[in-house]
Amino acid sequence: MSHTDPPVVPGTHVIRVRGLRKSFGDNQVLNGIDFEVRRGGVVALIGPSGSGKTTVLRSLNGLAVPDDGTVTFSNGLEIDFSSPVSKRDLLALRDRSAMVFQHYNLFPHKTVLQNIIEGPVQVQKRRVAEATAEAESLLQRVGLADKRDAYPFELSGGQQQRVGIVRALALRPDVLLFDEPTSALDPELVGDVLTVIKELGDEGWTMVIVTHELAFARQVADEVVFMDGGVVVERGAPGDILVNPREERTKQFLHRVLHPFD
């Protein structure tokens, strides 16, 4: 798809994150985070709750504003959080990425279609007919073409989350951000959503995924970043990090997750 083509500035990284720091009061949640996301890459952020992984993700979308550090996009946009971020920069930052939320956060007063075309039409000023056609084909792809005119309350959690993904896709972002996309779902609905995300990865979408689903991370990610206590403890290929981690903290985390009853 044309919109996933690299923007003007060459470079293999879509996002480069340097030195992100943030504290809420006395609580230092991010303590100098560095990582980058390759074009077409899928990065899984894993770690215990409170490790700061969701805050990192939210920082990429300007939903959390770090106290320090930079986020640089391959199109040249650089946000430096060491000084107050202007509204323009915040909107520019959000323009590059789109978030899929744990609790979907669909607009309850709008139909599925209206949810999807809201951003393209109201923000990106695309024509309603064009945005609608694209929304319909995206809905078709996630198997929800017949839900076009339904309201969110009429959908199951898994269906709502697939609409959430389509809403993000419709914005044609450089990067898709997923914040624990299956944590709020009933177990039997998780599979549908994970399948959709995996297909997007295979199609070449650049994605950052905060997840507890380690098996899924192993399948879909090409890099796993393990965070704990506001720092990146280690990162690497899923086969290394999730199977043969070097760091003791990673080993402990994996052991707790994989063998909860030991």
Partner 1 sequence: MESQWDLAWRSLGPIIGGAIGGTIPLALTSFVLGLIIALAVALARLSRVPVLSGAARVYVSVIRGTPLLVQLFVIFYGLPSLGVTIEPWPSAIIAFALNVGGYAAEVIRAAILSVPQGQWEAGHTIGMSRVLTLRRIILPQAARVSVPPLSNTFISLVKDTSLASLILVTELFREAQQIATFSNEFMLLYVEAAVVYWVICLVLSSGQNVIEKRLDRYVAH
Q: For residue 174, what are its two tokens?
A: 């450089």
Query: 9, 12, 80, 91: which one contacts partner 1 (CB under 8 A)?
Result: 91
Q: Which of residues 218-247 bind partner 1 (CB under 8 A)?
A: none
Nearest approach in angstroms of CB 87 to partner 1 is 7
In the complex with partner 1, the residue whose CB is nearer, 98 or 242, is 98
Of 34-42, 48-56, 166-174, 224-232, the segment contacting partner 1 by CB under 8 A is 166-174
In the complex with partner 1, the residue whose CB is nearer, 56 or 242, is 56
- DSSP for the chain? -GGGS--SS--SEEEEEEEEEEEETTEEEEEEEEEEEETT-EEEEE-STTSSHHHHHHHHTTSS--SEEEEEETTS-EEETTSPPPHHHHHHHHHHEEEE-TT----TTS-HHHHHHHIIIIIS---HHHHHHHHHHHHHHTT-GGGTT--GGGS-HHHHHHHHHHHHHTT--SEEEEESTTTTS-HHHHHHHHHHHHHHHHHT-EEEEE-S-HHHHHHH-SEEEEEETTEEEEEE-HHHHTTS-SSHHHHHHHHHHH-TT-
Query: 12, 78, 103, 146: which one contacts partner 1 (CB under 8 A)?
Result: 103
Query: 98, 142, 144, 190: which one contacts partner 1 (CB under 8 A)?
Result: 98
Query: 82, 122, 137, 156: which one contacts partner 1 (CB under 8 A)?
Result: 122
Indicate whether 112 belongs to the interface with partner 1 (CB under 8 A): no
Indicate whether 178 belongs to the interface with partner 1 (CB under 8 A): no
Indicate whether 87 belongs to the interface with partner 1 (CB under 8 A): yes
The count of chain residues that interact with partner 1, using the rule CB under 8 A, is 30
Indicate whether 95 belongs to the interface with partner 1 (CB under 8 A): yes
Q: Which residues bind partner 1 (CB under 8 A)?
A: 61-63, 87, 91, 94-95, 97-99, 101, 103, 105-110, 118-119, 122-124, 151-154, 167-168, 171
